[in-house]
Structure 1
Amino acid sequence: MTPTSSSSSATTSPPSTRSPSRLSHVAHGTRVLVGGALTHRQRPPSAGGTTFLNIEDETGMLNIIVSPGTWNRYGKIAKRSAALLVRGILERDSGSINLIADRLDQLTFGPAGSTA
Structure 2
Amino acid sequence: MSPYLPRPPAALVAARLPEVPAGGRVAVAGLVILRQRPGTARGVVFLTLEDETGVINVIVWRKLFERFRRAVIAGRLLRVTGRVERQAGVIHLVAEKIEDISDLLDRLADANAAPLPPPGQTG
Whether 1:61 aligns to 2:55 is yes
Cα drift, residue 82 of structure 1:
0.7
| Aligned positions, number | 104
Equivalent residue in structure 1 for 2:93, among 80, 99, 109: 99
Cα drift, residue 16 of structure 1:
3.5
In the alignment, which residue of structure 1 is the partner of 2:66? 72
- The separation in 1 between residues aligned to 2:33 and 2:49, in whole angstroms, is 6
- The separation in 1 between residues aligned to 2:64 and 2:55, in whole angstroms, is 21
Greater CA drift, 30-39 or 100-109: 100-109
In the alignment, which residue of structure 1 is the partner of 2:19? 25
Alignment deviations for residues 2-38 of structure 1 (CA, whole Å, 9 cap, x no partner): xxxxxxxxxxx83542011110111000011000000
In the alignment, which residue of structure 2 is the partner of 1:87? 81
Cα drift, residue 52 of structure 1:
0.4
Mapping 1:1-40, distance limit 5 Å: 14-40=8-34
Cα drift, residue 76 of structure 1:
1.0
- The separation in 2 between residues aligned to 1:17 and 1:68, in whole angstroms, is 24
Q: Any stretches of 5+ residues in structure 1 without a counterpart?
A: 1-12
Question: Is contact 1:15–1:31 with CA below 8 Å preserved after alignment?
Answer: no
Greater CA drift, 97-106 or 15-24: 15-24
Higher strand share: 1
Q: Any stretches of 5+ residues in structure 2 without a counterpart?
A: 1-6, 108-112, 118-122
Identity within the alignment, %: 36
Cα drift, residue 104 of structure 1:
0.6
RMSD, matched Cα: 1.7
Structure exhibiting the larger radius of gyration computed from Cα positions: 2
Question: Is contact 1:17–1:35 with CA below 8 Å preserved after alignment?
Answer: yes
